[in-house]
């Protein structure tokens, strides 16, 4: 379960007292910049402590008003409850084949493994665009040339809470996370890939909670 930080509690209190209030006004009241509290606002909206309306501002959310059922369910949800099948390619796959896989599978990020099926990196559409634009020779390059490598890859585990994983996505500005085996690591310390968590899966969970009360 995620416990709110002192700053997040202050944000909730400010919204309760001054709603509707913009993000800029909240930041100014705390003596901070808007980018500094961006992840706090996103998390508080997801936790339903505050609510946001475009072109209006922030309001107290359901949790702040005392309705905790949906929030409780969200807090209790684990990554393993909503993780999906990972789209995996080998690090020796050519960039051309990787791009084909990216579009055929309709995903934004590919998970990359070594010959033993262990996580070695990830590559996103942005990574492929950077290397392919204006570079005809890139098609035959191995995907290992453009991927983000471990230990810089942000991951989650089956037993991590969805909220904690969502916080990682917000903080690192990624649209999915590889789900790795939370057990003992093998093969030189490289974890096994057991799934992937996407923003779409999290949004679907929120919709399911909302529609079922």
* Reduced 3-state DSSP string for the chain: CCCCCHHHHHHHHHHHHHCCECHHHHHHHHCCCHHHHHHHHHHHHHCCCEEEECCCEEEECCCCCCCCHHHHHHHHCEHHHHCECCCEEECCCEHHHHHHHHHHCCCCEEEEECCCCEEEEEEEHHHHHHHHCCCHHHHHCEHHHCCEECCCCCCECCCCEHHHHHHHHHHHCCCEEEEECCCCCECCCECEEEEEEEHHHHHHHHHHHHHHC
Q: How many residues does the chain have?
A: 213
Report pTM: 0.65
Tell me the pLDDT of the chain (213 aa) as tens digits.
567 889 999 999 999 999 899 999 999 999 999 999 999 999 999 888 899 988 889 999 877 665 545 566 777 889 999 999 999 999 999 999 999 999 999 999 999 998 888 899 999 999 998 888 888 888 899 999 999 998 899 999 999 999 999 999 999 989 999 999 855 544 456 678 999 999 999 988 888 776 655
Structural domains in the chain, sorted by start: 6-66 (1.10.10.10), 79-207 (3.10.580.10)
| Exposure string over 184-201, b if 16+ CB within 10 A, otherwise e | eeeeeebbbbbbbbbeeb
Instruction: Report the DSSP pairing between strands 57-60 and 50-53.
Output: antiparallel
CB of 92 closer than 8 Å to CB of 116? no
């Amino acid at each position: 379960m995620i416990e709110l930080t002192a700053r997040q509690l202050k944000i909730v209190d400010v919204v309760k007292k001054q709603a509707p209030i913009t993000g800029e006004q909240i930041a100014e009241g705390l003596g901070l910049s808007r980018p500094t509290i961006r992840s706090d606002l996103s998390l508080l909206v997801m936790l339903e402590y505050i609510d946001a309306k475009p072109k209006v501002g922030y309001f107290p959310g359901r949790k702040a008003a005392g309705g905790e059922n949906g929030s409780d369910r969200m807090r209790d949800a684990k990554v393993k409850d909503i993780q999906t099948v990972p789209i995996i390619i080998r690090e020796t796959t050519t960039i051309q084949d990787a791009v084909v896989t990216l579009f055929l599978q309709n995903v934004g990020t590919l998970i990359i493994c070594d010959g033993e099926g262990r996580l070695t990196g990830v590559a996103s559409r942005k990574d492929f665009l950077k290397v392919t634009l204006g570079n005809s020779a890139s098609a035959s390059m191995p995907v290992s040339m453009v991927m983000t490598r471990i230990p810089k890859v942000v991951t989650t585990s089956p037993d991590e809470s969805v909220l904690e994983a969502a916080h990682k996505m917000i903080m690192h500005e990624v649209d999915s996370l590889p789900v790795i085996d939370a057990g003992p690591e093998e093969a030189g310390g490289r974890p096994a890939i057991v799934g992937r968590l996407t923003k779409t899966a999290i949004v679907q969970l929120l919709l399911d909670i909302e529609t079922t009360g």
